[in-house]
Structure 1
């Protein structure tokens, strides 16, 4: 038999409707952990218990407080539940926190649940049936429409078997959370166990974690080691998404840990103060103004922030200044402190005064750009709202300045690199490690840019063989990453649209076009410097002797310099490359005998006068072939 399926069942309902008593009746565990809770008879913070619903089916129960003062604690536990055990007392029916907890479950995207009518032993059967009808009417049209409604008594045990069966059926329908995502665990408890040290607990919302793994604590940015693991109270070597998990951490003091932090795979995620979201405002809430302050609940964290509406009026084109009750809009939540989130995470917002739940929704882009055109923003948010990784990749790659780093996609979506590759579609891999992609349209635009640049260069410099590679990098692609530019070059070379001649780039169709006079002048220049050896004429004296005007003479000189046939060593002196190669060979022979030589010795070695010796030595120093040592040189 395979590993058991683990689901999270969370209670919800008004204070004193019997949530904790019901969990104890089902599991045998009193989830009220604190002495004050037991003394006052109310749940203040989260409680936890486990129950085997069926063979191979285990539930971790999160018991949440029902009092309106402790809704913030309820939210810390509710974000990870798979099935809600929605509790309504038969002797009171629907009450204020019944409604608020129900709204919270809807906003958090809970999909399955069972309704328990508690304290059924305290009222007549007719009243139980009346409350049943009220409950069914209350949840009509929601995720609980058609859910089982079970009358129970924690005191007598009536209905508990039926409730267990209903919970088991709902749990079987829960789709197991995929381990094909990066590990994240929002921390809802932290404490110390004597002899073990710091322990945190939470619902493992994504990925998996194993013993001895290194994990990162956000927002601290600290990397620590997993020393121990428990899943639903049992020691394990690995815990997967969907399970209640306790993590014993080495390398951090318990005083540094708190509810609201998140454990994650190290070096993957980055907390952000700006989260672009799809926001739903409750129909019962007042209109929400642009810039309204809110309490923002995500994972187990509660933060302060403000809501910035991103919509524009279709009539006026102006920013929408308020969201009507029951409305939905794209919004940016700007937080005072950074939160760790990925696309698809659910959240709830509450007013500051009075502190009530007013809305929630899902994070779309947790790393939004600061500035972008409105149409670009809408397209980006719609892509994220689709939940389709291929659409997200296509949008991000199309709007990227050049290439799209897979690490950026992972940071925003939590996707695995393998899934990014599979969803890449028409995107092209420009670098394997770390993975980077480019949109085919962006590549086509960059290719056209390079082709146009080379065409303009050839038109302005018809006598040059091509444009230096470095000039391409520093010119039209000055702000683009080198790897991207090289990919563009390689793609055009492969397509035989451009050619590489050493460090020169040219259009494949380009060839140096010279008339008869220019060809004659070029040959004369090459021959003159070949014959001159190291006793060359100055350019000032030589260029006017050519059978072309000064402008064309300079172009011919530039072409020969770029081809490497001639080498400039000073403003007015150039040498043929063969002459310089001959000099280098002589220097190599001298180095074997004695690497040190004086200026007179260099003159004798090269056969040149001081007029040429000094510029040549200065050139050799710059080229690091020689280095100056007092009045002499040392051959490197």
Structure 2
């Protein structure tokens, strides 16, 4: 268990820890000379009943609030220290407010220096402390009176600490490892050493981790707890780690993370549940945002002030997951404004204030477990990005698999959907095709983009494409190239068009992937260009041909051949993409037609374009795997 001190400067926090552990946590020469804690100090007590208890001594001066908050990160409980001869002071109140905002609900209130206080002063300080604690997370905490100098009350405090440690359950070692660094130093013969707290998961010697935010790769050479070598570390424990790897003079430093590689993702937008302190006012100027042991400048905007929903826009990206605490301060006045918890570490940039977005955040606001959150997400959204959900909640692959297996879900690529959502979307698609077949019996079917636009199922393009593939595999639809129809649909062309269509189809089949333009086909078949263009446009409307340009048409089944070239290029490419020149050379269709074809493949959901390269959409990736 980890216990952090809190309280005003010169109220005896360091002296108290020395009385409890025998160790002076003021390790810096300047601290010892001035009698003032400047940096974090650490000490251990090995309790025969409660096990190892780590004490974190934090500075009490207002100038060192960020350092104080770094000491609270990962703490299970707090010792709120108040000098009996002075009573609560400004930093007492601010530290208590920070404990309250961070949700630290376990602790003890210790009135120190009772040897310097009269009985009247002690009684007044006790009453002031009780009143100060009302309405905070420490309101019902035991209150003890001690003198670290004479030893009076120390034994009773030791007993209270043992009982406190026994009452706090051990943290579950779930999730990927997240180690929060709060101190760095060098040891001769060993090199870089960091201290901190493992907030999630487990660590072992020789574990390979990602140093965040710089994305460096590091290895744990060794670990120590209270000077003793260990080989494993569990969530909720402090330790010193000897590191090797991508290290430099700037990193690691306080506020950095050692993470499982899959958890390295920086965010500059946090959706949070925010509570302001009394009389605090939020403005749209630059504020200081503290998360974990890191600080960043940024802005905070209300999304729904009445519900306490806000978004933090950071100037520098940082790491966070759902539930991580956040403190907002006014740097100019050195004043804490408020704090809260992260609801979504990957906040929306667009549409953040839309009703559906706010409804989702309100529903997630009280949720503290991923199994409940998944149900909420499925109810609030048409589809849930599985990888993003796992990152938000820090789920290991096994934990994610178990969670998904417990829910009745439909998987479309990397998205999870509730079966009712899928059934609604499938019904809309079938209904739209039934209408199209009834109104235009000569129609072969609808191309993908037209069908999805008409059905308005509201899914993302990748998921929509995968849903159509799923319906084809379940024999709910039939597909010919990019044209979809109901399984029993038999199109009937007017007699006047049937004979010409047979000739056009033969010409297109003969030309393979380089179909003639409309004028060339008209000349070949003895028609005017205007007549042929009108006919081809009619055939396109009915789903017999697909137009990649205003005067160039393919048979629907030839879409598969055009897509196959893209699939082959992607499969051969190290990054899964290709450029237009590679497609031209592979297909042999020439430069101008290549551009028309690739733009068409982008439009119909086969490929997507980014930085001069094209990549396969999920629907076509999935098809190749099966």
Q: Does the alignment reach a TM-score above 0.5?
A: yes
Deviates more, 1:135-144 or 1:332-341: 135-144
Equivalent residues in 2 for 1:204-223 (5 A)?
Answer: 204-223=198-217
- Displacement of 1:140 after TM fit? 2.8
Out of 384, 391, 394, the residue aligned to residue 404 of structure 1 is 384
Scaled by the length of structure 2, the TM-score of the pair is: 0.74
Secondary structure of 2:255 counterpart: coil
Q: 1:525 Cα deviation (Å)?
A: 7.2
Matching of residues 590-629 of structure 1 within 5 Å:
none
Q: Which residue of 1 aligns with 2:468?
A: 489
Per the alignment, do residues 235 and 553 of structure 1 end up closer, same or farther by CA in structure 2, a change over 3 Å counting? Answer: same
The equivalent of 1:274 in structure 2 is 269
Cα shift readout 1:231-272 (whole Å, capped 9, x = no counterpart): 444322221211112222211335122212222111324222
| 1:194-205 equivalence runs, <5 A | 194-205=188-199
Counterpart of 2:102? 108
Corresponding residue for 1:509?
A: 488
Contact 1:80 1:205 in 2 (8 A): yes
Instruction: Find the aligned partners of 2:554 and 2:484 in 1 and give their Cα distance.
Output: 26
Aligned counterparts, 1:522-541, within 5 A: none
Q: Decide whether the 8 Å contact of 1:540 with 1:572 is kept in 2.
A: no
Contact 1:464 1:558 in 2 (8 A): no
**Which ranges in structure 2 are unaligned for 5 or more consecutive residues?**
511-520, 546-550, 559-586, 591-626
Retained in 1: the 8 A contact 2:446–2:543?
no
Matching of residue 338 in structure 1 with residue 320 in structure 2: no
- Once the two structures are superposed, what CA deviation does each residue of 1:146-174 show, in whole Å capped at 9, x if it has no partner? 32222222222222221111111112222
| Structure-2 separation of matches of 1:219 and 1:377 | 28
**Equivalent position SS for 1:38:** helix
Residue in 2 that maps onto 1:293: 286
Match of 2:341 among 332, 355, 362: 362
Q: Distance in 2 between matches of 1:418 and 1:194?
A: 40
Distance 1:128 1:60 in 2: 29
Cα pair distance change 1:521/1:252, threshold 3 Å: closer
Matches within 5 A, 1:171-250: 171-250=165-244
Offset of residue 376 of structure 1? 1.9
Q: State how far apart, in whole Å, the 2-side matches of 1:179 and 1:480 are.
A: 36
* Distance in 1 between residues matched to 2:32 and 2:172, nearest whole Å: 38
RMSD: 4.1
Counterparts in 2 of 1:509 and 1:44: CA distance versus 1, 3 Å: same
Aligned-pair CA distance for 1:126? 5.5
Q: Shift in Å at residue 463 of structure 1?
A: 4.2
Aligned to 2:412: 430
Shift of 1:355: 1.0
* Distance of 1:67 and 1:438 partners within structure 2: 52
> In the TM superposition, what is the alpha-carbon distance from 1:13 to its structure 2 partner?
1.1
Q: Which residue in the other structure is 2:55 paired with?
A: 61
Please state whether the residue corresponding to 1:192 is helix, strand or coil.
strand
